[in-house]
Amino acid sequence: MSTTAPGLRAAVRAEWLRLWSVRSTPWALAVAAAWAIGLGLLDATSTVRGWNAMTAADRASFDAVGTSLDGLTIAQLAFAVLGVITATADHTTGTIDAILLAVPRRSHAYIAKVGTLGFVALLTGQGVALAAFLLGQAVLARQHLDVRLSDPSVVRAVTSAGLFLGTIALIGLGLGTLLRRSATALAAVVALVFLAYAVARTLEGWSYLPGKLVLSNAGDVIGQVHAHAARPRLPSLSQAYLDLAGYLIIALSLGAWRTRRDA
């Protein structure tokens, strides 16, 4: 215990400094915030302008929280990129040898990466989701379509959206650690988030099960007040959280396995 705890603390300090020394970290977070807030405002503005022309069905399916958070669909890609680069930068720049000299135990280095990135991504994700929500509601208020944080399930949906962004970053970290190459890991993340959704939609004529297991569908459900779980292709709220946890555990476990194998 006397050597393990100090070694892990040193690894966390080193990873914190390394994370913020990489230019891609603030850029990825800034791009994510810009996409999340910008697209959310555009969607909210479009809804306000077209509300009077909407059908009764469209109005019934309207979700004020989900509308303001629509930009997170693209922002999640920036968080995934951050996770991948956090894992692969040491290998692409050749600094992995210096890191292993400072932190000889690879398990400590991996745990430090997970903990540091998780803290930054989760905290930033919550801030991005909250900002997108508040600004989106300010626009929706013009048509009296807004909701408040004090309304039922609103805090749950907003914080869950931030949780989803942080989870995507950690999934990117796990895949980046497993695959080691930025391009390969990014392709895997894009396939997991976007391609899997398209494949699931093509299979709906045979089964809705793939759609209930798609990561992006889970993110859509937990980031809304009215989850539209009645749609057969979407998971229930509880299953969406289980899907998210499952993807996270699998990705981080694969990264841990690769770390132990190379030790």
pLDDT digits (tens, 9 = 90+) for 113-158: 999 999 999 999 999 999 999 999 999 999 999 999 999 999 999 9
CA angle, residues 188, 191, 194, in degrees to nearest 5: 140
Would the pLDDT of 74 be above 70? yes
Rounded-to-integer distance, Cα 123 and Cα 217, Å: 22
pLDDT score for 105:
65
Provide the pLDDT confidence category of residue 93 given band limits of 50, 70 and 90.
Answer: low
Q: Where are the domains of the chain?
A: 4-262
pLDDT score for 2:
46
pTM of the predicted model, to two decimals?
Answer: 0.89
Would the pLDDT of 243 be above 50? yes
At a CB cut-off of 8 Å and minimum separation 6, what does 56 contact?
Answer: none
Would the pLDDT of 3 be above 60? no
Mean of all residue pLDDT scores within the chain: 87
Would the pLDDT of 227 be above 60? yes
pLDDT score for 103:
55
Rounded-to-integer distance, Cα 15 and Cα 105, Å: 14
pLDDT score for 30:
93
